[in-house]
Structure 1
Amino acid sequence: MSDSATEAVLYVCAERGTQTPALAEERALQEGRAFAGERDLRLGEEITDHFGEVDPGKRPGWQRVRGMVARGEVTTVIVRWPNAISTDQELRYAEIAWCQEHGVRVQFSWAPLSELGGQGR
Structure 2
Amino acid sequence: MSTIFSKKLKDYRKELETKHQEKFGQVRLANELGISKGIIGDLERGTRLPSKKVLIKLVEHSGKSINYWMDGIEEYEAPNSVDLVLDKMIEKGLIKDINIDDDAWEIIKKAVLLEIERKLK
What is the TM-score normalised by the length of structure 2?
0.27
More helix by share: 2
**Which structure carries more relative contact order (alpha carbon 8 Å, separation 6+)?**
1
What is the TM-score normalised by the length of structure 1?
0.27
